[in-house]
Chain A
């Protein structure tokens, strides 16, 4: 709430749905699964969480002191609606508006300037006046306005690079992300060891054997002409030797992605891409190595951007999106990596190496996306003391990267995935991977 007050807000509403859950989940542990939810924060008053019919039982996960109220319009269509008060009444009771009295009838002036955090915030690069756009349901915004309040977009409080509350994690959060990254990378390892020509994409996906952690996006295994779709889910397409392949799986707090060919050697590659490793994979890997060896506390996002542009700026590589971004419960809360970014990386941040060539040619792509945490010496000591297993895995990953791959990380860079730095271009020979020469 301090950040909201510092932003000149009298109250903060945190809206969430299944896709845009991370702000709410990071504050309360509650995500609305398939309904919607709204957290109402007013200084000096107890937090109030409005949930739908089926969220009431699950709301037992929220910390003590959060008042959970059933608001049935957040429930699925045609479910009962008769047992909850109107939204305006609930907002007023929670402290909003000129007549706000506070929950339980306490006296006090109502909040006037009300921040609404949905997911995104906007700026001049989006459109003229876009900073006033609010990404939340129109009915919520209009109800806030009807109470005489001024709604403003407050999403930046959580995700603006350089100041966002969710972009600096404590030790427990990093341990959770390491847990997710460990299992996510284990799933990718199982798939890479099991995928074969003749399988369908469904069968190849089944090699992931996911353990049930929630996904931050639709996981995928794509092959052949479907690989270029990038975001599609698996299909019944049968994999053929020489297919371009893409695979990705992101449990909350992690994302593990690889791109390559269903091949054992250059002989299996499309004729037009027989020099795949020399032309695309080797320069890509060299860039990824420099990214890993550059990132650290005190480094700016602009420095990461510059090195990727210097190495992979040729249009052939087709690297068009930010080469690196923050990761949290959601896969991309925001990115500090853009041309000229002066956002300074700090201890507690978790970031993805996300350099994705989209060649649009027979060379397809190559990809080595995993996550790292930045941790200063006290944070590392805390992690080692309280999560010794995770700390030991991180140490073994760092040793592997240095000794086998030639990638020397700064001390504060903690790989969260077993596969960090591991780039196998030929998926039928997964033991064959790139290393610094």
Chain B
């Protein structure tokens, strides 16, 4: 693999938020 294809960088840890509620079908399932 050419070394230039990928590199380390300061990206941070992705966090796109948690659901406010579960899909309604889950409530009945569990």
Q: CB within 8 Å of B: which residues of A?
A: 25, 29, 61, 172, 175-176, 179, 182-183, 186, 189, 192-193, 213-214, 277-278, 281-283, 285-287, 289, 311, 387, 389-390, 393, 396-397, 400, 404-405, 418-419, 422, 424-425, 430-437
For the complex, count residues of B whose C-beta is within 8 A of A. Answer: 26
The answer to whether A282 and B6 touch across the interface, beta carbons within 8 angstroms, is yes
The answer to whether B6 and A437 touch across the interface, beta carbons within 8 angstroms, is yes
The answer to whether B25 and A431 touch across the interface, beta carbons within 8 angstroms, is no
Q: Give the distance to chain B from A361, nearest Cβ to Cβ, in Å.
A: 18
Contacting residues, chain B, for A175 (C-beta < 8 A): 23
* A396 and B7 in contact, given A179-B26, A387-B23 (Cβ under 8 angstroms): no
Contacting residues, chain B, for A278 (C-beta < 8 A): 3
The answer to whether B7 and A434 touch across the interface, beta carbons within 8 angstroms, is yes
Closest 8 CB pairs of A and B: A283-B1, A433-B11, A286-B5, A282-B6, A175-B23, A437-B7, A285-B6, A396-B16
A and B contact pairs by CB, cutoff 8 A, 12 listed? A172-B25, A183-B18, A192-B13, A277-B8, A278-B3, A281-B6, A283-B1, A286-B6, A404-B12, A422-B14, A425-B8, A432-B10
Contacting residues, chain B, for A396 (C-beta < 8 A): 16
The answer to whether A182 and B18 touch across the interface, beta carbons within 8 angstroms, is yes
Q: What residue in chain B is nearest A172 (Cβ atoms)?
A: B25
Of A213, A418, A434, which contacts B15 at CB under 8 A?
Answer: A418
Q: Give the distance to chain B from A188, nearest Cβ to Cβ, in Å.
A: 10
Contacting residues, chain A, for B10 (C-beta < 8 A): 431-432
Contacting residues, chain B, for A397 (C-beta < 8 A): 14, 16
Of B3, B13, B20, which contacts A389 at CB under 8 A?
Answer: B20
Q: What residue in chain B is nearest A312 (Cβ atoms)?
A: B1
Q: Give the distance to chain B from A296, nearest Cβ to Cβ, in Å.
A: 21
* A436 and B11 in contact, given A61-B28, A182-B19, A396-B16 (Cβ under 8 angstroms): no
